[in-house]
Chain A
Amino acid sequence: MTGSLASRAGVRQAGWLLAPALVWMGLFFVLPLLIVLLISFASRGAYGGVEWTFTLVNYRDLADPLYLWIYLRSCAFALATTGLCLCLGFPLAYYIARAPARWQGLWLMLVLVPFWTNFLVRTYAWMNVLRADGLLNRLLIATGFISEPVEILYTDLAVLIGLVYGYLPFMVLPLYAALERIDRSLIEAARDLYASGWTVFTRVIVPLAKPGIIAGCLLVFIPSLGAYITPDLLGGARSMMIGNFIQHEYLVVRDWPLGSAASFVLMAMVLVGMWGYQRTGGERPL
């Protein structure tokens, strides 16, 4: 009896402690999102404002091949970024996980340090390397691979490099966490049973590292899908991704309803990804 009374008082106390945060997030997070959702069903006013009539026309407009193309391109960029991060990050994560314990912390630190730098600055840093008279072109010319500088900056390739660079640590950390937990005796047992290196990799290491692989892929895929700075700075006029499209609709065209619909579709894609992750992660931890 006293226990339930105490816990009821506890809940009331918890309510007071939680209230300020809930009010703040309700006002400045949930409510703005609801407004975006509402506006995505409104139509555009004559002077760029919003007319409050219910319509699905914005979502229908998004099915226009031009816009669909932007969504497809963004998905392709995000997939390619995820794949490249996995290919680059896996050997690194594996190496760190198998390194002597006292070195692991240092290696992880080295992976994380560039990541702490401002994203804008990290992206800008690549402009110095990729521009026509930049380091990469100079290196390629000096080594005789090319005779004329090639345009790398302001191309899709530059966007891809920037995305991989931006999100590589998101891949390495969960991969490391999963690989580090693998019991080495399992690998040795497979070897003792005459499994080749490749078989050990595909039949033992990859299945055991699966949660880390899935987590890493999502952590890379989600932010690259919504990337804004990278395509804006490194991409050319035609390297538009969803993020740039949304910004363009809001701030340049001032078509808020279409921009709102576009951002809701982006958010839905992200949430579906998260949901899929929770399903695989929650039901099958291995």
Chain B
Amino acid sequence: MKGPAWRRRGLLAASLGNLFFLYLPIAVLIVYSFNAAKLAMTWQGFSLQWYAALARDHALIVACQNSVLIALVSTGVATLLGVSAAIGLERLPWRLRAWLDGALLLPLVIPEIMMGVALLLFFVLIKLPLGLLTVTIGHAAFNLPVVMVIVRARLRKLDPQLEEAARDLGATPWQAFRRVTLPLLMPAIVGAALLAFTVSLDDFVVTFFTAGPGATTLPLKVYSMIKTGISPEINALSAMLVVASMGLVALSLAVQRRRIFTH
């Protein structure tokens, strides 16, 4: 990089300042989750007691189970439907495809709260009781376009001649898909599914509107804990969520990257 040294140093300082801003609250959160003090901000020694308290919290364990169940089912639905739609979209005439491409972006840009209230009204009007089922339906709906966009990006980079070559060598369309296209798509599919799983585990707004009293998920539980007051227990729970979601996304990226290196 050319330019005077002061400018370079200024830029570096600004960048480090940004990183400080990005990491400060998370670092504070994690550090204080190990604090022995009940009043979180004075340091009174290292302790795992808040983590132990979490393990004893029965409602929390139920919320965890709900979250995982919802994430698994909604990811399954979104992945199945999203992958199938991505493949179908690729075979449409371009005009129809371009139109559908635009329409399917809509769920990605409309405000989450809009989706939440719309689903709430819909479920109330069709008299479907709010609970695990309604939350799962909502999660699958906002994750489907996510899966589709990721798989489509991969599909577009594939060489169509590969499938044609398989057909020329006598493969049926299904065989060509099953033995050539699908293996090539697999990393994108797994990556998309992991991302959908993470998004579902993390979602608050849509869940908040569609859950009803019986279906508390982890973020809903965190929210109600925050609303009842700041406590070291929330710090411990949040720290665990930080580590969990970072792990999942890292896994998703690793899966998607591996394909780039092996092919």
Interface residues of A (CB under 8 A from B): 7, 10-11, 13-18, 20-22, 24-25, 28-29, 31-33, 35-36, 39, 88-89, 91-92, 94-96, 98, 107, 110-111, 113-114, 116-122, 124-129, 131, 133-135, 138, 165, 168, 172, 187-188, 191, 197, 222-223, 225-226, 228-229, 233, 243, 246-247, 250, 256, 259-260, 263, 266-267, 270-271, 274
Contacts and interface: CB of A to CB of B under 8 A. Distances in A.
B26 A260 contact: no
B121 A36 contact: yes
A18 B88 contact: yes
Given A28-B119, A124-B222, A197-B3, A95 B15 contact: yes
Interface in B12-48: 12, 14-15, 18-19, 21-26, 28-29, 32, 39-41
Contacts, number: 229
Interface in B239-256: 241-242, 245-246, 249
Contacts of B118: 29, 32-33, 35-36, 263
29 contacts: A17-B87, A21-B81, A21-B85, A21-B148, A24-B141, A25-B107, A29-B107, A29-B141, A32-B122, A33-B118, A35-B121, A35-B125, A36-B121, A91-B11, A95-B12, A117-B241, A117-B242, A118-B202, A118-B241, A118-B242, A127-B230, A228-B112, A229-B204, A233-B226, A243-B111, A246-B113, A259-B117, A266-B113, A270-B110
B170 interface: no
Chain B interface size band reads 35 or more
A247 B113 contact: yes
B111 A226 contact: yes
Given A89-B18, A118-B219, A124-B222, A228 B119 contact: no
Contacts of B122: 28, 31-32, 35
Contacts of A96: 15
A120 B223 contact: yes
Contacts of B84: 17-18, 20-21
Given A35-B118, A126-B25, A168-B22, A243 B107 contact: no
Contacts of B89: 14, 18
Contacts of B234: 124
A122 B29 CA distance: 9
Question: Interface centre among B2, B91, B141, B223, by most A CB within 10 Å?
Answer: B91
- What's the dominant secondary structure at chain B's contact region? helix
B1 interface: yes
Contact of B39 (A24, A28, A133): A133
Interface string B193-221: 00000100010110001000000000100
Contact of A21 (B10, B24, B32, B82): B82
Given A92-B15, A125-B238, A138 B226 contact: no
Given A25-B141, A98-B1, A117-B242, A18 B85 contact: yes
A127 B245 CA distance: 20
A94 B118 CA distance: 40
A133 B38 CA distance: 13
B28 A11 contact: no
Contacts of A120: 202, 204, 219, 222-223, 226
Contacts of B53: none
Given A114-B23, A263-B113, A267-B110, 20 more contacts: A18-B85, A18-B89, A25-B107, A28-B137, A28-B141, A32-B121, A35-B118, A36-B117, A98-B11, A116-B198, A129-B24, A135-B28, A168-B18, A191-B2, A197-B4, A233-B226, A246-B114, A250-B209, A267-B111, A271-B109
Contacts of B114: 33, 36, 226, 246, 263, 266-267
Interface of B: 1-4, 7, 10-12, 14-15, 18-19, 21-26, 28-29, 32, 39-41, 77, 80-82, 84-85, 87-93, 100, 104, 106-107, 109-115, 117-122, 125, 137-138, 140-141, 144-145, 148, 198, 202, 204-205, 209, 219, 222-223, 226, 230, 234-235, 238, 241-242, 245-246, 249
Contacts of A127: 226, 230
Contacts of A18: 84-85, 88-89, 92, 100
A160 to B, nearest CB: 13
Contacts of A233: 226
Contacts of B90: 14
